[in-house]
Amino acid sequence: MLLYYDLHMHTCLSPCGEEEMTPNNVVNMAMIKGLDILAIADHNHCGNVRSAMAVAAKRDMLLVPAMELQTLEDVHVLCLFRRVEDLEAFFEIVDGAMLKLPNRPERFGHQLLMDDQDEPVGEVVHTLITSCQLSLSDAVAHVRRLGGVPVPAHVNRSSNSLLSNLGFIPPGEAFTTLEITAGSKGDQFLEAHPELAAYRILRNSDAHQLIDLSERENAIDLRERTLDCLIDTLSIPLMKKE
C-alpha cells in the first residue's frame, strides 16, 4: 500500500524548532496534511517522542521514533527506530557522548520537553545543536544493533550533510537509503547526481514550523502499515529488492 510520509521534523525541543511545534500541534498538522506516517527527529535528543507517540496513537497516526544525530564529523544522520525503547537506548549512548555546553536560549531558542497535553515539563539546558562525540561509523553500528536504520540526512545541502562534509558515501557503511529535502532543490540535486539512483530516496520536510510539514506528496510502498515493515523496507538495498 502507498503511504504518505514525512519522516523528518523537529519539535520545540530542538533549539531551532518553533515553540508551536508541540506534540499535539505536530500530529494534528500531519493529519490535516493527509499524512499516514511521520517521524519526530530532534537534534541529539528524543525527549518529546513518547508524548508525540501517545498523541499519534489516539489519532491512528503511525509515528516513527527517531532522532537527528550530529556525528563527530558534523554529519546529520536521520536515525529511525522500530520501538521507542530502542531509540531511548540509543539516546543514552548519544547523551553520554555530548559535550554538554550550555544552551543560550535568548540566542538559539528554548529546548522544551512537553507532555502529551502540550504542557512544558522541563527544558534541556545543554545545547543540542552541536556535534555528538560519536563517529559516523560508531553511530551507524549502534543504530543497526538496536534494530534501526540510519539515513544520511539532507544530502543535497551544502552543510551538515554526508556529501558536503565527507564528499562521498562511505561504502563500508552500506547505506541503503538517503534523504533529500522535499521540493525542487532536492530534485535538481538528484538529477545532477545520477549515481544516487542506487539508493532509495526519502523526501522529507525537515520542518521547524508547522506550516512547513510536507503535503500529501511523498509516498512509500509498504506491505503493511507498521514500524517493522517501514524499517525493514528502508534497510533493504534498492537494487536487490526492486
Which parts of this chain interact with Zn ion (CB under 5 A)? 68, 76, 153, 206
CB of 156 to Zn ion, least distance (A): 11
- The residue whose Cβ lies closest to Zn ion is 76
Q: In angstroms, rounded to a whole number, what is the distance separating the alpha carbons of residues 200 and 18?
A: 30
Contacts of 58 (CB under 8 A, 6+ apart): none
C-alpha angle 152-181-46 in degrees, rounded to nearest 5: 55
Q: Which is nearer to Zn ion, 18 or 206 (CB)?
A: 206
Q: Residue 69's beta-bridge partner residues?
A: 77
CB of 178 to Zn ion, least distance (A): 13
Residue 53: its H or E element: helix 49-59
Q: Which is nearer to Zn ion, 43 or 82 (CB)?
A: 43
Q: Which of 47, 160, 45, 159 is nearest to 100 (CA)?
A: 45
Q: Residue 160's beta-bridge partner residues?
A: none
Q: Which is nearer to Zn ion, 68 or 116 (CB)?
A: 68
Contact at 8 Å (CB) between 128 and 13?
Answer: yes
Q: Which is nearer to Zn ion, 25 or 70 (CB)?
A: 70
Q: Residue 3's beta-bridge partner residues?
A: 220
- At 49 the three-state DSSP class reads helix
CB of 17 to Zn ion, least distance (A): 9
CB of 78 to Zn ion, least distance (A): 8
CB of 16 to Zn ion, least distance (A): 8
Q: Which is nearer to Zn ion, 10 or 200 (CB)?
A: 10
Retrieve residue 85's grid coordinates: 525503547
